């Protein structure tokens, strides 16, 4: 049995969608609740799979997670925190990237952690060497075991001077979640400063942490011995907002994204305007629309914040297939994030991948045989196809390509999209998309 989504293309998406708390913040805020000695309340929580995974991981570690059915708010009470049965931890292997962030909080609360093998999008190797190196510098002992890693700190966790080789989001969060209760002062150089990290810092500060964000990617943390629960409204999901914005452009539609927050999307909005999209910023959201006429090609590089976020790249590439002329996209964050373009080419797009850095600045992947630059020639007439969703953003980009295409597409593997897009079927239907879900006995991709 499998679920097949049938999409009849050619309908401009029009209407309103609401984005709630960010996938890249909410699960981490839930992990932070483990650091407290009283309950936390998290608001604006989306119904996505990554939240369910972390809820389950917290629950098996003795944290009580209660959901207010009317508001969706979560109350997380860590007072019963304890080791989890390995069988139940193993069941979470391959689920998401968040478990690695349990290391510091679990050591602080119960003295040890067992972290199952990670999941998340397959868009490169996604090693965890930075995470393990910073944990070791704090004094943790890391033991690789079949199915995961065991971590403990027989002599406690102590603040340290650290520098990341690259401003990794997850490794910066690892440092924050560990340093807040480590003994002494931690200084992190080359930290990531994405808005979701700033929101995590806001949460930790509400809990009683002492953290200063200094110039040039330096974060300084003074460890404290106790933290209290927080009450926090998660920042909205800027990546989902950017996805719907691209959907409006690709389908020549008009979508008001309630919850979209201008200052978290500055780099995206500049590119959106340059490619020929229009937007109107309101207090509660942003209206994104295709103003008519031809889209313009451009040259674009993904980067860490405040640059153009890598998770915005895939849906925007679909818009670039409709621009008049040649666009270049240089992916500098992940070495293997253009796999999704194969399906776009099958749908009629002209996209060539190159190993060279086709950007202003050579990146880490230049001489290493990774096809991480894309040349997109438009406008291309897209036609429907059978597609198997490869990953979260790639999958969303396939959906919007199918929505713009002539004819019918059959999409499998859409469960992956639930990991980051809340109620996307309802949202698509609300925007006028002609989509149908069906269960089938045999699925051909």
Ligand X SMILES: CC(=O)N[C@H]1[C@@H](OP(=O)(O)OP(=O)(O)OC[C@H]2O[C@@H](n3ccc(=O)[nH]c3=O)[C@H](O)[C@@H]2O)O[C@H](CO)[C@@H](O)[C@@H]1O
Ligand Y SMILES: C=C(OP(=O)(O)O)C(=O)O
The piece of 115-123, 214-222, 293-301, 432-440 that touches ligand Y (CB under 6 A) is: 115-123
Q: Which residues would be at the binding site for ligand X (CB under 6 A)? A: 24, 97, 124, 126-131, 166, 168-171, 192, 310-311, 333-334
Instruction: State the residue number with the nearest CB to ligand Y.
Output: 120
Q: Are 275 and 246 in contact (CB under 8 A)?
A: no
Residue 120 or 348 with smaller CB distance to ligand Y:
120
Q: Which stretch binds ligand Y (CB under 6 A): 83-91, 120-128, 192-200, 318-326?
A: 120-128
Query: Does residue number 389 form part of the binding site for ligand Y (CB under 6 A)?
Result: no
Q: Check binding of 92 to ligand Y (CB under 6 A).
A: no
Comparison of 393 and 410: residue with beta carbon closer to ligand Y: 393
393 binds, among ligand X, ligand Y, none (CB under 5 to 8 A by kind): ligand Y
CB of 269 to ligand X, least distance (A): 18
Residue listed under structure tokens 């602080």:
108
Measure the CA–CA gap between 268 and 245, rounded to whole angstroms.
10
Q: Measured from the CB of residue 396, what is the shortest distance to ligand Y in angstroms?
A: 9
Q: Among the candidate windows 8-16, 117-125, 143-151, 212-220, which touches ligand Y by CB under 6 A?
A: 117-125
Q: Which of 103, 121, 357, 363 is catalytic?
A: 121
Which entry of ligand Y, ligand X, none binds 124, CB below 5 to 8 A by partner kind?
Answer: ligand X
Q: Is 357 a catalytic residue?
A: no
Q: Give me the sign of the Cα torsion angle 318, 320, 324, 329.
A: negative
Q: Which stretch binds ligand Y (CB under 6 A): 58-66, 116-124, 242-250, 368-376?
A: 116-124
Measured CA to CA in angstroms, residue 153 lies from 28, 132, 139, 146 at distances of 22, 13, 6, 20
The Cβ of residue 412 has, within 10 Å, a number of other Cβ atoms equal to 17
Least distance from ligand Y to the Cβ atom of residue 97, Å: 5
Q: Which stretch binds ligand Y (CB under 6 A): 59-67, 119-127, 409-417, 434-442?
A: 119-127
Site string for ligand Y, 321-360 (x = CB under 6 A): ----------------------------------------
Q: Which does 420 bind (CB under 5 to 8 A by kind): ligand X, ligand Y, none?
A: ligand Y
Annotated binding site for UDP-N-acetyl-alpha-D-glucosamine: 97, 311, 333
> Toward ligand Y, which CB reaches closer, 39 or 167?
167
Say which residue the tokens 């480590």 belong to: 182
77, 95, 196, 311: residue in contact with ligand Y (rule CB under 6 A): 311
- Compute the least distance from the CB of residue 173 to ligand Y, in Å: 11
Q: Report the residue number, 130 or 338, with the smaller CB distance to ligand X.
A: 130
Region 231-250 residues binding ligand Y, contact defined as CB under 6 A: 239
341 binds, among ligand Y, ligand X, none (CB under 5 to 8 A by kind): none
Question: From CA 50, how far away is CA 366, in angstroms rounded?
Answer: 32
Backbone dihedral angles phi then psi of residue 352, each to the nearest 5 degrees:
-115, 140
Identify the residue among 84, 392, 403, 414 touching ligand Y (CB under 6 A).
392
Q: Sketch the per residue contact string, 11 through 40, with ligand Y: x for CB under 6 A, - otherwise.
A: ------------x-----------------
393 interacts with ligand Y by CB under 6 A: yes
Annotated binding site for phosphoenolpyruvate: 23-24
| Angle (nearest 5°) at CA 239 between 238 and 243 | 115
What is the Cα–Cα distance from 198 to 385, expressed in whole angstroms? 41
- Residues annotated as catalytic are 121
- Contact positions vs ligand Y (CB under 6 A): 23, 96-97, 120-121, 123, 239, 311, 392-393, 420
């Amino acid at each position: 049995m499998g679920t097949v989504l049938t999409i009849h293309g050619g309908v401009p998406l029009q209407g309103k969608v609401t984005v709630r708390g960010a996938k890249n913040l909410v699960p981490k805020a839930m992990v932070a609740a483990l650091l407290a000695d009283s309950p936390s309340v998290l608001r604006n929580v989306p119904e996505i799979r990554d939240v369910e995974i972390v809820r389950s991981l917290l629950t098996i570690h003795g944290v009580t997670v209660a959901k207010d059915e009317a508001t969706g708010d979560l109350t997380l009470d860590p007072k019963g925190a304890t080791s989890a049965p390995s069988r139940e931890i193993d069941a979470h292997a391959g689920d998401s990237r968040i478990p690695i962030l349990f290391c510091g909080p679990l050591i602080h609360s119960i003295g040890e952690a067992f972290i199952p093998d990670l999941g998340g999008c397959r868009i490169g190797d996604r090693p965890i060497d930075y995470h393990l190196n910073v944990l070791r510098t704090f004094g943790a002992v890391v033991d690789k075991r079949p199915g995961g890693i065991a971590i403990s700190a027989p002599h406690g966790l102590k603040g340290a001077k650290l520098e990341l080789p690259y401003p990794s989001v997850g490794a910066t969060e690892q440092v924050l979640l560990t340093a807040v209760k480590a003994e002494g002062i931690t200084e992190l150089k080359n930290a990531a400063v994405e808005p979701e990290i700033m929101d995590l810092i806001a949460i930790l500060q509400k809990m009683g942490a002492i953290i200063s964000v200094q110039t040039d990617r330096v974060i300084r943390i003074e460890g404290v011995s106790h933290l209290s629960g927080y009450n926090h409204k998660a920042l909205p999901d800027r990546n989902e907002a950017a996805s719907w914005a691209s959907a409006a452009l690709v389908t020549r539609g008009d979508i008001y994204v309630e919850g979209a927050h201008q200052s978290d999307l500055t780099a995206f909005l500049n590119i959106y305007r340059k490619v020929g999209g229009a937007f109107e910023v309101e207090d509660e959201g942003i209206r994104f629309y295709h103003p008519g006429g031809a889209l313009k090609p451009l040259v674009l590089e993904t980067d860490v914040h405040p640059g153009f976020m890598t998770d915005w790249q895939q849906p925007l590439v679909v818009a670039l297939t409709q621009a008049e002329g040649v666009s270049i996209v240089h992916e500098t964050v992940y070495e293997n994030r253009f796999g999704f373009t194969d399906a776009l080419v099958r749908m009629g797009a002209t996209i060539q991948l190159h190993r060279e850095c086709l950007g202003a600045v050579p990146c880490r992947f230049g001489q290493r045989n990774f096809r991480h630059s894309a040349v997109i020639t438009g406008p291309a007439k897209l036609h429907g196809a059978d597609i198997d969703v490869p990953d979260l953003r790639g999958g969303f980009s396939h959906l919007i390509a199918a929505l713009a295409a002539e004819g019918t597409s059959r999409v499998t593997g859409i469960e992956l999209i639930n990991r980051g897009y809340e109620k996307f079927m309802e949202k698509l239907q609300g925007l006028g998309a002609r989509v149908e879900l069906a269960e089938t006995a045999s699925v051909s991709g």
